[in-house]
Amino acid sequence: MKITIRLIVSLVFVVALVAVIFSFYQVRIEHGRLVNDLERRTILLAESLQESAKPLVQSRSFAKLNRFVDRFGNRERLKGIMVWSVQGDVIASTPAIKQNTPKVLSQVLNSLSEKRSLQGFINIEGKEIYIHTIPFSDEEEENVIGALTLFQDASYIDIRLKDIWKQNFMRFLILTLVIVVITLLVVRWSITGPIAQIAEWMRDLRLGNGKSKKSDSFPRGDVLAPLVTEVKYLAKSLSMAQKKAEEEARAAVKTESLWTAERLKEHVQFELGGRKLFLVSNREPYMHIKEGRSIKYIIPAGGLVTALDPVMRVCNGVWVAHGGGDGDRDVVDAKDTLRVPPEQPCYTLKRIWLTKEEEDGYYYGFSNEGIWPLCHITHERPVFRLDDWSYYQKVNEKFAAALLDEIKDEESPLVLVQDYHFALLPILIKEKRPDVKLAIFWHIPWPNPETYGICPWVREILLGMLGADIIGFHIQLYCNNFLDTVDRFLESKIDWEQFSISRRGHMTFVKSFPISISSDLFAGGVPAAEKGSLKENLLKEIDVSARYMGVGVDRIDYTKGIPERFRAIERFFEKYPEFIGSFVFIEIGAPSRTHIKRYRDLLTQVEEMVDRINWRFRTKNWRPLVFLKGNHRHDQIQPFYKTADICMVTSLHDGMNLVAKEFVASRDDGDGVLILSQFTGASRELKDAIIVNPYDIESMADAIHAALTMDPAERSERMGRMIATVREQNIYRWAGSLITELTRVR
């Protein structure tokens, strides 16, 4: 743009300079021509009038002379005539110019004394007047007897010269416009066009779009042929270097396959370069609750906290979340922040306060009665209310304001937005801080366009999410569904090779990042000699005697397939009665979203099913189902993981499900069997689990039997492969991949 402006200014200056010089020369020539013409006509007229005036002067017929002057004094451009005596006195004059006698007297006297014609210009009443004085002599031509002065109007000369300037100015404007347009077109076709084409071609290479049709043919060179040649070689070298670097990076990852907290810390420090990582989620990693006069903290149930807390421990970032504990306000500082974890502070927790109406509308209403059932396709009808949508927008704006305040002093901050509660947050942040590098990770499934189209505000949600630079899902299927949904409801350019969406100049990449856990948190196997006693102690605590033990760990949510699991256990005892009295299943369930009637009904249904099945099959010292209701810490759950013979994860639809990975990570002894729903993201990775359809009660009952009777060698082999997968594909690898992609966003 600056070059174009300079070029236009230069062209205008040069054309103006040429026009001025040409006009000045033309005016000068025209002025000389007009003056010469005026002089020639004046001389002819003066000589003609002199022949008539001379006899009258000689005969001193002054009355006739005055009539003669009056008759010829106002013709065409002749303004007047004056006749002079040899002494320089006015003999006859046109009345209108007689008062200007002093202005011409010197010229008349010089003409009489020098006996020759004289001429010049004077100003009379604001007009340019040409005066010409010619002396006349007696009959013998020896003595001067008088003089004749003609006054010619010369103002038309100035008018004509001004017209020339005006005409040349218009020619200058037209010529300038034509020259500028032609020059810009030539420059566009011959220089800037090829340069822009070369730049776009190189951008494709830089962004890795080398396989696109746009990059198949190199742009034309025209006058830039030498530059094109060098750029072509440079681009090829860059492309080769990028490919080599990618291959080396992949080789390095494969060579050092195990990501650890220390490796992630070093990697993050290198990638962030001293910058902080800002994370936004609805659920806080540590919740403070009141117990009498004391305040204690708990870790809320759910996979998000399990996955992200280890990441934030090594990033020393800021976690922005809703403060939902009744003791949360009592432990924060003036900025509503505190350092966590409480026992070993590693990062900052920023709490956002919501009113009861905001929480009901945004969280329980739109998020969990609308989006949650919509995305999980568990045949639970979603409910969408306008008031809930209004609160959802309001809370997203509140979180955006808090985050913008946290990053106000940061340059190009990195932000990770978590889950479906904040679909609008990316665009709200990007509108105020375009320099932010922002990713949103969607922890739940993304259904097909037909299903998502049920939401009345599907376009607003998509537009909000597309403010992000990266949108992450657990598996590729959800990425495909998201692109299909955008293609259905928004006008945008979708690149299915790069999995990117371009809209109004902003590029969003859609990628799969299978989330996982930190296997270190569940490490530490139980020696074989102690395993039996640990199981025995656990069973004693719940007052059950059994040989085999199964475990399930869930939030009480209709997507987890808990009733289906219990029906399968009931059917298992019906089909395989030999296990009555020797197999017990322990369900560790954390009540969730009890403000929503569907969740309260589910909790009641689960408790009733436990009572009914236990009543049907129980014996004196045994019952088939044990329901441990409440929030349990990891250290309380791990003994069950480590000693259970089977773990059942029977979600009807789940983005990933980290319980499955927690169970595998806990089994350092290589024992135990995982029964896993085919509708979880984890089933794509843990292929050595017994994969089941949770809607098929018969096959699940058979799966329980197969797990309990499986050969120990096969159990060990299956579990060993799953342990290796979970250790390699851990939360640190997930975080490293996501942060790497985010920091390298251009």
For 523-554, what is each residue's pLDDT tens digit? 665 665 677 788 999 999 999 999 999 999 99
Do 301 and 411 sit in the same domain of this protein?
yes
Residue at a domain's end among 379, 409, 441: 441
148/404: higher pLDDT: 404
pLDDT over 80 (residue 641):
yes
Percent of the chain at pLDDT > 90 equals: 50
User: CA Rg, the chain, in Å?
Assistant: 49
Which of 153, 186, 220 is the endpoint of a domain? 153
Per-residue pLDDT at 205: 59
Position 323 in a domain: yes
570-590 mean pLDDT: 96
Which pLDDT band holds residue 380 (cuts at 50, 70, 90)? confident
pLDDT value, residue 216: 45
Dig out the tokens for 599 from the structure.
């969740």
- pLDDT at position 203 is 65
Q: Which two tokens stand for residue 126?
A: 């604001």
Predicted pLDDT of residue 214: 44
Residues 271 and 420 in one domain: yes
Could you tell me if 434 and 538 lie in one domain? no
Asked, for residue 51, whether it belongs to a domain, the answer is yes
pLDDT at 128: 84
Q: For residues 404 and 398, give the distance between their C-alpha atoms in angstroms, rounded to a whole number.
A: 10
Contact of 470 with 426, CB cutoff 8 Å: no
Q: Looking at residue 208, what is its pLDDT?
A: 52
Q: What is the mean pLDDT of residues 606-614?
A: 96
The predicted pLDDT at position 198 comes to 73
Q: What pLDDT, on a 0 to 100 scale, did the predictor assign at position 56?
A: 80
Beta strands 548-555 and 583-590, pairing class: parallel
What is the chain's mean pLDDT, rounded? 86
Domain of 579 in residue numbering reads as 522-729
At residue 706, does pLDDT exceed 60?
yes
What's the whole-number mean pLDDT along residues 664-674?
A: 92
pLDDT beyond 90 at 626: yes
Residue 211 lies in a domain: no
pTM, two decimal places? 0.65
Same domain, 535 and 421: no
Q: Is residue 474 part of a domain?
A: no
The CATH number for 410's domain is 3.40.50.2000
- Which of the pair, 562 or 248, is modelled with greater confidence? 562
Does 70 have pLDDT greater than 80? no
Report the pLDDT value the prediction gives residue 212, as an integer from 0 to 100: 41
H or E stretch including 586?
Answer: strand 583-590
**What is the SS3 assignment for 515?**
coil
pLDDT at 255: 47
Question: Same domain, yes or no, for 409 and 529?
Answer: no
pLDDT of 210: 46
User: What is the percent of the chain where pLDDT is above 70?
Assistant: 90
Whichever domain contains 65, its CATH number is 3.30.450.20
Instruction: Verify that 143 and 276 share a domain, yes or no.
Output: no
**Is 482 contained in some domain?**
no
Can you tell me the distance from the alpha carbon of 276 to that of 269, in angstroms, rounded to the nearest whole number? 9
Over residues 201-206, mean pLDDT: 64
**Residue 742 included in any domain:** no
Average confidence (pLDDT) over 698-712: 97
Question: Do residues 431 and 531 both lie within one domain?
Answer: no
* Res 149: pLDDT: 87
**pLDDT reported for residue 546:** 94
Confidence check: pLDDT of 261 > 50: yes
Q: How many residues does the chain have?
A: 746
Residue appearing with tokens 């946290």 = 406
Position 643 scores a pLDDT of 93
Q: Which amino acid is at 486?
A: V
pLDDT bracket for residue 363 (50, 70, 90)? very high
Higher pLDDT residue, 102 or 411? 411
In degrees, rounded to 5, the angle at the alpha carbon of residue 120 between the alpha carbons of residues 119 and 125 is: 130
Residue matched to tokens 């807390």: 309
690 near 675, Cβ under 8 Å? yes
Evaluate whether residue 502 is within a structural domain.
no
Q: Do residue 420 and residue 530 come from a single domain?
A: no
- Kindly state whether residues 596 and 701 are assigned to the same domain: yes
- Both tokens assigned to 99: 């008062």
Q: Which of 441, 476, 495 is the last residue of a domain?
A: 441
Residue 317 belongs to a domain: yes
425 pLDDT more than 90: yes
Q: How many CB atoms lie within 10 A of CB 228?
A: 20
| Cβ-contact 534, 497 below 8 angstroms | no
465-484 pLDDT tens trace? 999 999 999 999 999 999 99
Q: Which residue has the higher pLDDT, 102 or 18?
A: 18
Position 256 pLDDT exceeds 60? no
436 plus 526 within the same structural domain: no
Is residue 268 located within the same domain as residue 146? no
What would the mean pLDDT of 152-158 be, rounded to a whole number? 84
The tens digit of pLDDT for each residue in 282-308 reads: 999 999 999 888 999 888 766 567 677
Are 566 and 676 members of one domain? yes
Number of domains comprising the chain: 3
